[in-house]
Homo-oligomer: A and B are copies of this chain.
């Protein structure tokens, strides 16, 4: 690590002018100052354009005076860092960590309490956090409110979802800031548990675009021992204020000094690709706490899962629980039988998938949802038709890894008190990865999915799992903020509206996957479960009108555009066998990368990414569009000069269309080099996937 300390001022010799810190590029300038009441505020400019106008900083402490005013600056410390590190799994082999730091040390008159505000200025944006140093005047304390402001300088276009303390599984709304209003949302959207407390509270990451073309993103990094930050909007002034998620009795966070808050991040660029490609969220997190990471591997998997979503089989043994939740419908077969599992194992082995997920293997599903019931699952009792010993032995023989499923139904007390037994059971049967689920109202009752206690739980599970060398893929968790750098066995999460909603709800509009990389994916990999080939649900039931809102080709492209080291081929084996040529892309595509190039990006419109597979010279390219058809020409100048490659292009067929003709695709093979200019032709809701392999 190269750190150069440029200044160290320790005495309070009149910090009357603003303190500032610039990004290494000099483009982003952050200024900090105290007003006449000693209240701290900051502002941010990008290439001399205002991004964040004067915005106050501060926190309220329960039963104590607020930490919002009467401060004096005791000192300002600066540093410059430029180093790099290697992620265990990732989009690139090496991540550069380059920023300028400004630490402002404050002392509150009257109380004598100390508060530091640390700014880190990256080229991608600026981050800051509150730091409570060890001190006599502040030891244990309770955050009653955080009053961080983000005073936006215009009525930007925003890609937003409502500030729901229990869910992020929403379709993004694309409106002006002044048009945000949760009361106008149609909440008949398939989300199981909703806790929206105010019409003007929205979630971060909040992606915006200003009228003069700046891409601005408000988010946070390293949410550890602190609740998730939502954002309260003043729709008239476009000011956002932090809204922490309370616990059952209205407290926000229990801290002991020394302590820090998560980083509050403001990314800004005039090129949308910089937002998608950012690495500052990871850089703001702690390095891996797992010494030996050799057991952490990327994973492509299939599983007994989508067949319940489309109503072919059920989670429960008694045959009533498919995603239709219609207990009075005709009984259907239980999905997780030994026989069916063996079928998936055979399929995985035949096509080179690493793992098989089986949901509905354990008792409890008859009565698992909607009753705030504490003891639903025990995580160690298979249904009688799932012979876990036989399955384990069969999978081992076939060289396939089994993926465990732990649905908690939100009963975290029950899960935590059974965690050791559940993980021991997994290891006894050779399971090295688990998909966790948190559908339902949280127990301890009164807690939200996004509160401090649950954040701690979501960080605790990978920590404990690491002791057992188990990978974690959480669903319905709070959304990631880069903590998978610290716990790299936290291989993926859902924490946004996944592909599953297309199976049984109004679904995800075609723009959805062009927004997620600007929002949810900034925090970490998503188990989006792409790869649905039978796009229309009427193949299962003629009365169904639900469908995936993409073409088949776009489903392929998602394996590249939606980064995750854990990727599911989500559709049924029999559907893949219908389209073996298209399926070849899913078999070929990598899940871990040495390099990534964001070629084109516009939130809500399109995204084109090329990635170089780990340890190879193979590239994979994904291009997606929203509901509009799109033509574009790419230069493949990321390829090695003078090297010839074979490119297999999986593209939308002529007249393909997500709604009317989604499965229409074409596959062609051409030769390309770094000089090739490639014309792409994306259907409405369509996409293109390309594998590019050197010709020896």
Interface size on A, residues (CB 8 A): 25
Contact of A256 (CB < 8 Å), options: B139, B254, B371: B371
Q: Do B140 and A248 touch across chains, with their CB atoms under 8 A apart?
A: no
A450 within 8 A of B: no
Instruction: Decide: B373 and A256 in contact? CB cutoff 8 A.
Output: yes
Docked complex Cα distance between A416 and B415 (Å):
10
Contacts A413-B416, A417-B416, A420-B421 given: A446-B249 contact, CB under 8 Å?
A: yes
Q: Is A444 an interface residue (CB 8 A)?
A: yes
Bits for A532-575, please: 1 = Cβ < 8 Å to B, else 0.
00000000000000000000000000000000000000000000
Which of B372, B413, B447 contacts A254 (CB under 8 A)? B372
Q: Which residue of B lies closest to A444 (CB)?
A: B444
The CA-CA distance from A619 to B372 in the complex, in Å, is: 53
Scoring A251, A256, A413, A453 by chain B CB atoms within 10 A of each residue's CB, the highest score goes to: A413
Contact of A446 among B140, B247, B419 (CB under 8 A): B247
A278: min CB distance to chain B, Å: 33
How many monomers of this chain does the complex have? 2
A86 on the interface (CB 8 Å rule)?
no
The answer to whether A327 has its CB under 8 Å from any CB of chain B is no
Contacts of A139 in B (CB 8 A): 371
Let me know if A446 and B248 touch, CB within 8 A.
Answer: yes
A343 an interface residue at 8 Å Cβ cutoff? no
Any B CB within 8 A of the CB of A374: yes
A671 at the interface (CB under 8 A from B): no
Q: CA separation between A247 and B249, bound complex, in Å?
A: 10
Contact B373 A445 (CB under 8 A): no
Which residues between 349 and 380 of chain A lie within 8 Å of chain B, taking CB atoms?
A: 371-374
CB neighbours of A372 from chain B (8 A)? 140, 254
CB distance from A239 to the nearest CB of B (A): 31
Return A246 CB to nearest CB of chain B, in Å: 11
**A248 contacts which of B371, B374, B421, B444 (Cβ < 8 Å)?**
B444
Q: Mark A215-253, 1 if CB is under 8 A from B, else 0.
A: 000000000000000000000000000000001110100
CA distance A446 to B249 in the complex (A): 6
Q: Output the nearest chain B residue to A254 by Cβ-Cβ distance.
A: B372
- A247 and B443 CA atoms in complex are apart in Å by 12
Closest to A421 in B: B420
The smallest C-beta distance from A409 to any residue of chain B, in angstroms, reads 13
- Taken together as a complex, chains A and B put the C-alpha atoms of A460 and B418 apart, in Å, by 12
Q: If A140-B371, A373-B140, A417-B419 touch, does A445 touch B251 (CB 8 Å cutoff)?
A: yes
Known A-B contacts A416-B417, A420-B421; A445 and B248 likewise in contact (beta carbons under 8 Å): yes
What distance in Å separates the Cβ of A156 from its nearest Cβ neighbour in chain B? 37
Residue of B nearest to A251 (CB): B445
Kindly name the residue among A251, A444, A447, A456 whose own CB sees the greatest number of chain B CB atoms within 10 A. Answer: A444
Could you list 25 A-B pairs, sorted by A, with CB under 8 Å? A139-B371, A140-B371, A140-B372, A140-B373, A247-B445, A248-B248, A248-B444, A248-B445, A249-B446, A251-B445, A254-B372, A254-B373, A254-B445, A256-B371, A413-B413, A413-B416, A413-B453, A417-B417, A417-B419, A417-B460, A420-B420, A444-B444, A444-B447, A445-B453, A446-B446
5 smallest A-B Cβ distances: which pairs? Answer: A444-B444, A248-B248, A420-B420, A140-B371, A249-B446
Which residues of A are in contact with B by a Cβ distance under 8 Å? Answer: 139-140, 247-249, 251, 254, 256, 371-374, 413, 416-417, 419-421, 444-447, 453, 456, 460
